[in-house]
Structure 1
């Protein structure tokens, strides 16, 4: 065990595959460990040993446990591991994945996933629950509309309009709703009300997070960043100094265009959509509201958005503003400066190089 310098781990529910190498990169051991014996095996590793694993549902939990043992725990995105599997797509199994993770962790320019704290993951549980409740609520409303449409009852699209007329429709004896259909609608309406209560509970927890966290309140000052987005940003990222600059943070969120460049010719496509889809969606949704109302404001960002919309179109302006907000968030938290909507950034002076002809 003293020879081991790097370990790759393929996590699973009951059996965890490990692949360990020495300083020369030569395989020392590779085996499958029961979940109950995994930490005891890791406790025998030398202090500071690099232990890498793929990003998964339990990766942050195990990473915190390994850090407590004095090990250098790292998490790698699954997309960055595939290229290091020597057997290719046809040779995927736990042992080969562990070996690929171990090899990927040795790359000097590998990007690792930040390890989340218990508080961050707890807050993200609220956000995940809220998204699930929203999806269930939308499905419930559409189910009610479908049941009503079977009897020729069609109403306006908004949930508020349906909520106003639904009690009267269920009690109206003049329509063709049967007795069982009315009972089914009563059950569906009760489910709708219950989902609304769950959604309010999630919003209350997010609002409490904003009151307790100074970072959340700072993020809310940005145009297009509301309480939900601000809470999600703080809970997801944590330490913004892990990114070199705002451009890297924007790329981490998948808000930069794809490249297919060759021969000195740059070809840019759609955004990469890498990273956290939930956080990226919140930033884009918030940017939409700002782009639609930019003509009502006179700050530099609104004027820039309005000009960009007229020049490049609405959708590109939305994505560009979401990317700008990501960069501003990095600057606010990494540099410790408050947000100023009227701030005008200036590029550092370039270096003039004199060329003397001989």
Structure 2
């Protein structure tokens, strides 16, 4: 078999592979278990291997690269147009093999083990934050049913809850008091675990060179910097900052035809977690950012005068994403340029 391109439909325990020769003819169509696939790939001559970017594909890609193969990961929506007729595992594998041969196909960069570890820390932290929020809302709902209101946020609940539990004149029964105390203990345990993850992320940010470069950008803190390094790496898979901003869903969608450009709302593609962090960081910069002496200050003043605050925050997040790409791609700190008035 002279296999030039191999498309693999990734599963949990069963994998379907379709191999194409140099002219695109199918020369292999086989189903493998995980262990059998590893043995087959270890003996196969070096070729181009295509897979959809999904759970487990990063690990497989690193293993296949150790065997000397060239691995290409693609987003699933880019593979779908190449699926012929009905959907099946072998048809999906053949579509992957055909898609990976296209010269204009966009590929996903393989992550290192360190990037995936850092990404796992962020996902675990995000999960714990969601659980804490759900429990806080549950406590506030219990108290509201008994005529007691608590403002939003864990700080307000922390101040108010001891008074509520110690007040013998309210309508809380002994059973509900015990339940509220149990939920609060659970919230406190979640906060301790979140604090541990925060400390670990801060240690990584302090020792990683790319994170230190990103921290020089206004509006980018430890969480955003580490999440960006975990997701994007050095950013060299993008040709320019706008491509990275588009990947994060910070540019308008287009529906242009007949030579007439038509821009729609923000696309919201890509990594929603990283986009959220960038927009929150942009909102932090907006508080007093228009007083900056560099070129960012006049730009923010002019934008805030003619656009709503949320639109301004997204536009600033777009600019921060482009600056972050330049910082990562060139491996340098952010150097703000002075405004024309300051230069004069």
Is the TM-score greater than 0.5? Answer: yes
Question: Match of 1:68?
Answer: 66
User: What residue in structure 2 maps to residue 145 of structure 1?
Assistant: 140
1:344: how far off?
6.8
SS of 2:30 mapped into structure 1: strand
CA distance in structure 1 between the partners assigned to 2:289 and 2:325 by the alignment: 23
Between the aligned partners of 1:232 and 1:178, the Cα distance in structure 2 is 45
State how far apart, in whole Å, the 1-side matches of 2:307 and 2:260 are: 21
State the distance in 2 between where 1:253 and 1:158 align: 28
Give, in whole Å, the separation in 2 of the partners of 1:172 and 1:213.
50
Counterpart residue number, 1:348: none
Distance in 2 (alpha carbons) for counterparts of 1:123 and 1:344? 37
- Asked whether the equivalents of residues 144 and 185 of structure 1 are also in contact (C-alpha less than 8 Å), the reply is yes
- Alignment RMSD: 1.5
- The two structures have a TM-score, normalised by structure 2, of 0.95
Return the alpha-carbon distance in structure 1 between the equivalents of residues 101 and 338 of structure 2.
42
| 1:332 aligns to 2:330 (yes or no) | no
For the pair 1:223 / 2:218, whether they are aligned, the reply is yes
- Cα pair 1:249 1:327 within 8 Å, conserved: yes
> Is the CA contact 2:247–2:269 (under 8 Å) kept in the aligned structure 1?
yes
Q: Which runs of 5+ in 2 are unaligned?
A: none
Structure 1 range deviating more: 19-28 or 156-165: 156-165
Name structure 1 gaps, 5 residues minimum: 346-358
Distance 1:123 1:10 in 2: 27
Partner of 2:119: 124
Partner in structure 2 of residue 79 of structure 1: 77
1:270 aligns with 2:265: yes
Partner of 1:245: 240
Aligned to 2:293: 298
Are the aligned partners of 1:291 and 1:306 in contact in 2 as well (CA < 8 Å)? Answer: no
Deviation at 1:60, TM superposition (A): 0.4
Whether 2:128 is the aligned partner of 1:133: answer yes
Equivalent residue, structure 2, for 1:10: 9
Q: Corresponding residue for 1:283?
A: 278
Query: Per-residue deviation at 1:343?
Result: 5.3
Moved more, 165-174 or 15-24: 165-174
Q: Is the 8 A contact 1:76 1:111 kept in 2?
A: yes
Q: Quote the offset at 1:177 in angstroms.
A: 0.8
Q: Partner of 1:320 in structure 2?
A: 315
**SS of residue matched to 2:203:** helix
Match of 1:36 in 2: 35
Instruction: Tell me, in whole angstroms, the C-alpha distance in 2 between the residues paired with 1:124 and 1:336.
Output: 21
How far apart, CA to CA, are the structure 2 residues paired with 1:241 and 1:271? 24
Distance 2:300 2:45 in 1: 54
Moved more, 291-300 or 67-76: 291-300
Write the deviation string for residues 160-179 of structure 1: whole angstroms up to 9, x where unpaired: 11111212211221111111
How many Å separate the matches in 2 of 1:4 and 1:229? Answer: 42
Contact 1:63 1:115 in 2 (8 A): yes
Whether 1:193 aligns to 2:188 is yes
TM-score (norm 1): 0.91
For residues 343 and 110 of structure 1, the distance between their equivalents in structure 2, rounded to whole angstroms, comes to: 40
Aligned length: 340
Q: Secondary structure at the match of 2:236?
A: helix
Structure 1 pair 295–8 and aligned structure 2 pair: CA distance change class (3 A): same
Q: Contact 1:294–1:303 (CA<8 Å) still a contact in 2?
A: no
Q: Deviations over 1:296-340 (max 9, x none)?
A: 433311221221121233222222211111111121121233211
Equivalent residues in 2 for 1:151-170, closer than 5 Å: 151-170=146-165
Give the structure 2 partner of residue 356 of structure 1.
none
